[in-house]
Amino acid sequence: MSAITQDGRCVALPSLYSQETESHRCRGAGKNVADSDAHESIANLILLSLPRATLRRLQPDLELVSTARGEVVDRADQPVNYLHFVNRGLISLVKSMEDGRTVEIGVVGIEGVTQPGTIFGISRAPLDTVVQVPGSAFRIKHGIMKDCLAKDQELREALEKYERFALLAFAQTAACNRLHHLEERCCRWLLIAHDNALSDTFQLTHEFLAMMLGVQRSGVSIAASRLQKAGLIQYRRGQVTIVNRSGLEDATCECYATMRTEFRKLFGPPKSA
Amino acid sequence: MSAITQDGRCVALPSLYSQETESHRCRGAGKNVADSDAHESIANLILLSLPRATLRRLQPDLELVSTARGEVVDRADQPVNYLHFVNRGLISLVKSMEDGRTVEIGVVGIEGVTQPGTIFGISRAPLDTVVQVPGSAFRIKHGIMKDCLAKDQELREALEKYERFALLAFAQTAACNRLHHLEERCCRWLLIAHDNALSDTFQLTHEFLAMMLGVQRSGVSIAASRLQKAGLIQYRRGQVTIVNRSGLEDATCECYATMRTEFRKLFGPPKSA
DNA sequence: TCGGGTCTGTATGATTTCGAACACTACTGC
DNA sequence: GCAGTAGTGTTCGAAATCATACAGACCCGA
């Protein structure tokens, strides 16, 4: 599976979404695929999976926007104006408690779209939806998307399949957050972020990561510095670089691999290599 | 909101699903509403919420079954044969990890139905689905349900609304399991079980509860014995009795109240008292 | 260049939960 | 009545994480 750029280039996709068994390709640190792309090519896997005709119908209504770290895309219980097909970066679904502590329930990466459920049922966001790793997304008005869906069986099926994956990932994350150690969970999160950042370096602070994992910031700092000492990552002031991806995969819990397996089961082996 | 029995009696519903602000009605310990009911009346809130015509159409295909503790209703990744409208008792959606440890992701009580998502999308169970508190359920063949849904907008909307609630509850549970203390979580679980058992006494072992909360059995024993000493519950060999419901509500975390609020927002205040 | 804010490193004791073990008790089936 | 199993009470040291604090490092804008 790979992303096809507008000019026909073929970009290898990162591990969670790729079919290679051992994919430890590290992209040049700091290189940011789309930094200078005015017309960013489509990397979102839902959009890429659609038949050409379907995609063409959607395209006039898709608007490329860049997403900034911390940006609140949707707020829990508020109406959803746009759906975001993530093209690069990571968007988190976050539950906030009364005392202000937070936990990430799930993420939307380049495999997905925000608020798929609002298309079928109630059109209010169930959770806070926040940009974790900045990047870009194709957004589409909620109402337009709803109309498109009514007319297009393929699109509907793609969303249903994605919802299925999202639910499985939520469950895995919930269990992981309960049962696994902080350091393992840090690794899991970094791997997923890496998969979606389309770059080995991306913005991320300990503070943010702590909020996602539902732990104290100081705990993340300790875990992160251990990972750094082990040569797996490098970071400085809100910027992480994945140095040794396969090392991270060894250091994480089963959950990352399980999600990858589920992803493949659902989205299947590609037609060919 | 209340359940209407076949002979017209009106049964007050327990707290999560009721509209009363402070509902500490404790039903006689040990009395089990339906123990001797051959034709158990409908208590499931989805079924009760349907228009009479819709319900009548469904009824020939609804089969009342009793659910035994530990019974596996559906297994993760296996095809779903029946949907279960829970009528009494509690069914858990459980994630099992490789080492055998488990965490409950969500529950289906009398407000819900198992596997609603399989009606819209992929028809395999996402999670292990296990009876936690024995009771009864109206089951319907998956295929028949799918057909009914295609023809019936009201039914579809009822399921979509329930799915929304389920997702919110999953998120709350996930966050709670990460952030709140074992004893508080025990209370939350007992309250929800109480709401669905339709009796103050129900079957439950420490072992089961530990698996649901993703903790050690000994931890549950300690918490449970504290709750017993505080006069909130009583138990003996796999059987719990809720003694002081309002005490439990005081001892639990915010999560129970939040779920109740969400439930009311979605299913609204009743037409009248 | 000088604040001021943000981010990280680290320390501390307190608390919670783990992990494992063992004894005891109540129920079940024979 | 007895053996076997299931369920509970309890212990204990170990480990993880909390909660809080503070200092230093880096970055930005005035």
List the domain boundaries for chain B: 2-175, 181-252
* A97, pLDDT greater than 90: yes
Distance CA A265, CA A36 (A): 35
Q: What average pLDDT does this structure show over B126-139? A: 93
Query: Which of A97, A161, A264, A267 is the best substitution to test chain B (most B C-beta atoms within 10 A)?
Result: A97
Output the DSSP codes for B74-110.
Answer: E-TTSBP-EEEEEEEEEEEEEEE-TTS-EEEEEEE-T
> Which nucleotides in chain C have some atom under 7 angstroms from a protein Cβ?
6-12, 16-21, 26-27
Contact (Cβ atoms closer than 8 angstroms) between residue B133 and residue B69: yes
- Main-chain phi, psi angles of A118, to 5 degrees: -70, -15
Residue B139: the pLDDT is 96
Q: What is the mean pLDDT of chain B?
A: 85
Contact (Cβ atoms closer than 8 angstroms) between residue B67 and residue B137: yes
Residue B73: the pLDDT is 93
Q: What share of chain B is helix, strand, coil (3-state, %, to 5)?
A: 45, 25, 35
Closest CA to A195 of A114, A107, A268: A107
Q: What is the pLDDT of residues A137-182, one digit of tens each?
A: 999 999 999 999 888 888 999 999 999 999 999 999 999 999 999 9
Query: Which of A74, A94, A95, A211 is the best substitution to test chain B (most B C-beta atoms within 10 A)?
Result: A95
Output the DSSP codes for B121-133.
Answer: S--B-SSEEEEEE
Residue B269: the pLDDT is 63
Confidence class of residue A123 from pLDDT cuts 50, 70 and 90?
confident
Q: Which residue of A has its CA nearest to B165?
A: A126
* A88, pLDDT greater than 60: yes
Helices (H), A5-141: 45-49, 52-58, 117-120
Residue B14: the pLDDT is 53
Distance CA B105, CA A173 (A): 10
Q: Residue B30 burial (CB < 10 Å; 0-12/13-18/19+)?
A: exposed
Determine the 3-state secondary structure of B240 from DSSP: strand
Residue A150: the pLDDT is 87
Q: Is the CB of A70 under 7 A from strand C?
A: no
Of the given ranges (A89-93, A160-164, B24-28, B189-193), which has the lowest mean pLDDT?
A: B24-28
Q: Residue B255 burial (CB < 10 Å; 0-12/13-18/19+)?
A: buried
Output the DSSP codes for A224-257.
Answer: HHHHHHTTSEEE-SSEEEE--HHHHHHHS-HHHH
Q: What average pLDDT does this structure show over B237-252? A: 92
Q: How far is CA A169 from CA A87, A162, B246, in A?
A: 19, 10, 36
Q: What is the mean pLDDT of chain A?
A: 85
Q: What average pLDDT does this structure show over B29-46? A: 60
Class level of CATH domain B2-175: mainly beta
Query: In chain B, pLDDT over 90 holds for what percent of residues?
Result: 68
What single DSSP character describes residue B176? H
Cross-chain residue pair A164–B126, CB shorter than 8 Å: yes
Give every CB contact of residue A169 below 8 A, 6+ residues apart in sequence. Answer: A106, A107, A259, A262
Distance CA B17, CA B68 (A): 23
How close is the nearest chain A Cα to the Cα of B71, in Å?
21
Beta bridge partners of A118: none
Closest CA to B58 of B71, B73, B40, B46: B46
Determine the 3-state secondary structure of B70 from DSSP: coil
Strands of the A201-203 sheet, one edge to the other: A201-203, A239-242, A233-235
CATH number of the structural domain A181-252: 1.10.10.10
How close is the nearest chain A Cα to the Cα of B38, in Å?
36
CA of B183 to C1' of C24 (A): 25
- Main-chain phi, psi angles of B13, to 5 degrees: -95, 155
What single DSSP character describes residue A33? T
Determine the 3-state secondary structure of A178 from DSSP: helix
Residues of A in contact with B175 (CB under 8 A): 95, 97, 102-103, 105, 214
Q: How far is CA A110 from CA A14, A137, A194, B188, in A?
A: 10, 9, 11, 36
Q: Take residue B222 and report the two structure tokens written for it.
A: 């300690």
User: Amino acid letter at B214?
Assistant: G
Q: Residue A101 burial (CB < 10 Å; 0-12/13-18/19+)?
A: middle
Contact (Cβ atoms closer than 8 angstroms) between residue A168 and residue B126: yes
* B28, pLDDT greater than 80: no
Q: What average pLDDT does this structure show over B58-71? A: 91
Residue B18: the pLDDT is 63
> Which nucleotides in chain D have some atom under 7 angstroms from a protein Cβ?
6-12, 16-21, 26-27
Q: Which residue of B has its CA nearest to A182?
A: B178
Contact (Cβ atoms closer than 8 angstroms) between residue B237 and residue B199: no
CA angle A67, A152, A273 (to 5 degrees): 70
What single DSSP character describes residue A16? G
CA angle A123, A128, A132 (to 5 degrees): 125
How close is the nearest chain B Cα to the Cα of A124, in Å?
10
**For A43, what's the count of Cα atoms within 13 Å in the CB-facing half-sphere?**
28
Query: In chain B, pLDDT over 70 holds for what percent of residues?
Result: 85
Q: What average pLDDT does this structure show over A237-256? A: 93
Give the total residue count for chain B.
Answer: 273
Residue bearing tokens 């979606």:
A196
- Main-chain phi, psi angles of B247, to 5 degrees: -65, -40
Q: Take residue B78 and report the two structure tokens written for it.
A: 């296996």
Nucleotide C20's nearest residue (CA vs C1') is: B218
Helices (H), A125-216: 142-151, 153-179, 182-197, 206-213
* B16, pLDDT greater than 80: no
Q: What average pLDDT does this structure show over B106-134? A: 92
Instruction: Tell me how far the alpha carbon of residue A196 is from its chain's centroid.
Output: 5
Give every CB contact of residue A272 below 8 A, 6+ residues apart in sequence. Answer: none
Closest CA to A235 of A199, A189, A203: A203
